[in-house]
Amino acid sequence: AQTVTQSQPEMSVQEAETVTLSCTYDTSESDYYLFWYKQPPSRQMILVIRQEAYKQQNATENRFSVNFQKAAKSFSLKISDSQLGDAAMYFCAYRSAMIKAAGNKLTFGGGTRVLVKP
């Protein structure tokens, strides 16, 4: 079974600064997807960024970028130019790409709370 670990329960960042969230995972599969989801207080979870394991290039979405290290099974998220609206819980998640994988369900880490100071 796959596991996802987020070792930072909470991170604080000054507005306009950069913060990096850590995520490690364990899997025996070679093909999979990794995601970062954002969950603002009392609002639904939304996808921030995704990475296909077969791609060496790190994904980027505007101010959000990842550092994907497949051999180390590490998948960190960098938030640049942090804004007050970035304050939320951030979850790292894994999804198998195997065709027979059960429904392509997501396996989540425990989350990191990001606080943005004005």
Residues at the site binding other proteins, with contacts judged by CB under 8 A: 4, 6, 35, 37, 42-47, 50, 91, 93, 95, 97, 102-111
CB closer to other proteins out of 16 and 54: 54
Pick the closer one to other proteins by CB: 17 or 105.
105
Question: Cβ of residue 109: shortest distance to other proteins, in angstroms?
Answer: 5
Ranges assigned E (strand) in 6-45: 10-14, 19-21, 24-26, 32-39
The smaller minimum CB distance to other proteins, of residues 13 and 45, is found at: 45
Contact between residue 77 and residue 91 where contact means Cβ atoms under 8 Å apart:
no
Nearest to other proteins of 16, 36 (CB atom): 36
Nearest-angstrom CA–CA distance, 26 and 95: 12
Least distance from C-beta 79 to other proteins, angstroms? 19
The distance of closest approach from Cβ of residue 105 to other proteins in the complex, given in angstroms and rounded to an integer, is 4
Structure tokens at 101: 């994988």
What is the nearest approach in angstroms of other proteins to the Cβ of residue 50? 7
CB 10 within 8 A of CB 116: no
CA distance 113 to 97: 28
